[in-house]
Amino acid sequence: MAFRHFCLGVGTALFGVVIVAGFWLALGGLSARNTTSSAERMMARRVRHFAVPAEARNKANPLSSSDELLVEARRHFADHCASCHANDGSGISSLGQHLSPESPDMRLAATQNLSDGELYYLIHNGVRFTGMPAWGSEGADEDSWKLVLFIRHLPQLTGDELKDMEKYNPKGEMDRIEDQAEEDFLGGKTDAPHSMHH
């Protein structure tokens, strides 16, 4: 009898969730243009937490932080991650702010309080229904563990480190042409490039 009441309660709760979700979809649809609500962000964090297997959550980083590893990880982050997460991990980038949910500020507790194993799992395997792809290769992935070290370092990132990262951010063809024109100008090879006339 108690089990029957339990099943009835769970069924009623699920039906309520479906009704609320249907009402929410009818109001806002699936458009990613709408700002992500705090309730959606909270739900996404909870789902993310439960999606990481317990054994993965409990893994310890096999690497110890060092200046050399942090430089390597910082430059890797600039090249692979900053397009969405920004060099400083704030998530304030043209791509990161247009995802749904938006890229998180990884300097804050919601990310910093995750275990090393959780961070590794999320980097290595990605997160479904978000813009976070799976970056890791099959098997153990040292690059993902290095990124965990860098994510832990984000709250202490210095101006010099940010400046170094800019050199490793991906650039399009027009950016490369403009950089070359500025370099030629500074080297005295040409007149001021067009973009410097403004």
Q: What is the pLDDT of residues 56-69, one digit of tens each?
A: 999 999 999 999 99
CA distance 103 to 11: 34
**DSSP assignment of 97-140:** GGSSSPPP-TTSHHHHTS-HHHHHHHHHH--TTSS----PPSS-
The pLDDT of residue 5 is above 70: no
| Structural domains of the chain, count | 1
Torsion sign (Cα): 17, 22, 28, 34: positive
Residue 197 has a pLDDT of: 46
Give the CATH number for residue 137: 1.10.760.10
Does the pTM exceed 0.85? no
What's the pLDDT band for 163 if we cut at 50, 70, 90? very high
Who wins on pLDDT, 86 or 24? 86
Q: Has residue 13 been placed in a domain?
A: no
> Residue 27: inside a domain, yes or no?
no
The pLDDT tens digits for 34-43 are 676 777 777 7
Structural domain contains residue 67: yes
The domain in which residue 113 lies consists of: 35-190
